[in-house]
Amino acid sequence: MKAALPLVALCALAGCGRYEDFTLPYVDRPPEAGTWVWEARPEPVLGLGAAGEFDRVDALNPSVVRHSGTLFNYYSGFDGTYWHTGLAVSEDEGLTWRKRGALLSPPAGGYIAANGSALRLGSETLYWYQAGKVPRMELARFPDGKAAQRHPGPVLDLGPRGSWDERGVADPYIVRFGGAFYAYYLGQDRAKQQRLGVARSPDGITWTKLRANPVLELGEAGSFDENGLGEPAVWFWGGSYWMLYTGRDRNEVRRMGLAQSRDGVRWTKLPSTVITGDQPWNRQVVCDATVEVRRDGVHVWFGGGDRPKPDERLNGQIGYAILRWQPR
């Protein structure tokens, strides 16, 4: 999540994109009553790289997918100048990870090719990520046994002049329900406000934005999310959609909030659930969730840092927790 994105020439905003009204698939039964309980491991499960490596300054923004019993973590690494996407694998359900190096790097003169979201489909992994100093959402494919294939140009672009996302489309999180893809993402406007919206796609390439975006607004003055929202993670459980998201306060301390929805579009924040860091390594920043739903709860990998900054140089590392559902 970036704090202040630079101004962009009007010519770059010419493409207004497509807009429509939609919801995620609706389940016609009452939602289960209960609460989520956060159980986090005290130490990070994936730390910083050594000197000279692509993730030596920050290791953040995990995106975990499962294939043939192995977990693959497409995470973001910062080397002090550029953000890259790297890969780590786990054979023990995400408790320990073996790094395999960088997969994507920004082009010459670029800044970022990271902050992405992976989905496993058939014999390949699709990875939607943030690219550009004025960020848009791009797409890379990782076919089994073959080199990465980048889709030419952004697949989700900036909004038109005056829109809530005219100065940035970032932090995508992709889910698939009912045969359609849904991208929850951060949008930034010309006042540098960062809120969350959603777009829908039949194929992961051609996207239509929700006409009523944004779907999640800034918090009230004095709240943990008054200064910006980002990094959503969405799942379905017990008749409801749920979202973990990152909130920034006025001091740039980051925490994660929880929101609930019946249709994936109209969201209610749950102010009783604000997740904070309680260890030295994540005492100032808790962010960047990715989730895997299992029978015993929602398994969460997340970023943490010990410096309250909105973007990078946090000493960022990746932690692990479980959200356990307690029915009422």
CATH number at residue 39: 2.115.10.20
At residue 103, does pLDDT exceed 70? Answer: yes
Residue 296 lies inside a defined structural domain of this protein: yes
Share of the chain above pLDDT 90, in %: 91
At residue 91, does pLDDT exceed 60? Answer: yes
Residue 115's nearest CA partner among 162, 68, 152, 169 is: 169
Residue 52 lies inside a defined structural domain of this protein: yes
Q: What is the pLDDT of residue 245?
A: 98
**DSSP letters of 167-209?**
TEEEEEEEEEETTEEEEEEEEE-TT--EEEEEEEESSSSS-EE
Q: Which residues of 129-155 are buried (b: 16+ CB within 10 A; e: fewer)?
A: bbbbebbbbbbbbbeeeeeeeeeeebb
Q: What is the pLDDT of residue 17?
A: 65
Residue 242 lies inside a defined structural domain of this protein: yes
At residue 28, does pLDDT exceed 90? Answer: no
Residue 22 lies inside a defined structural domain of this protein: no
Backbone angles phi, psi at 29, to 5 degrees: -155, 155
Amino acid 143 reads P
**Dist CA 274 CA 225 (whole Å):** 10
Backbone angles phi, psi at 10, to 5 degrees: -60, -30
Mean pLDDT over the full length of the chain: 94
Average pLDDT of the segment spanning 52-72: 97
Residue 75 lies inside a defined structural domain of this protein: yes
HSE, CB side, 13 Å, CA atoms: give it for residue 38.
21
**Encoded tokens for 7:** 């101004």
Number of domains in the chain: 1
13/214: higher pLDDT: 214
Residue range 130-179, pLDDT digits in tens? 999 999 999 999 999 888 899 999 999 999 999 999 999 999 999 999 99
- Backbone Cα Rg of the chain: 18
Residue 140 lies inside a defined structural domain of this protein: yes
Per the structure, the complete domain to which residue 151 belongs is given by 30-327
Q: What is the pLDDT of residue 30?
A: 87
At residue 9, does pLDDT exceed 50? Answer: no
Residue 2 lies inside a defined structural domain of this protein: no
Residue 21 lies inside a defined structural domain of this protein: no
At residue 185, does pLDDT exceed 60? Answer: yes
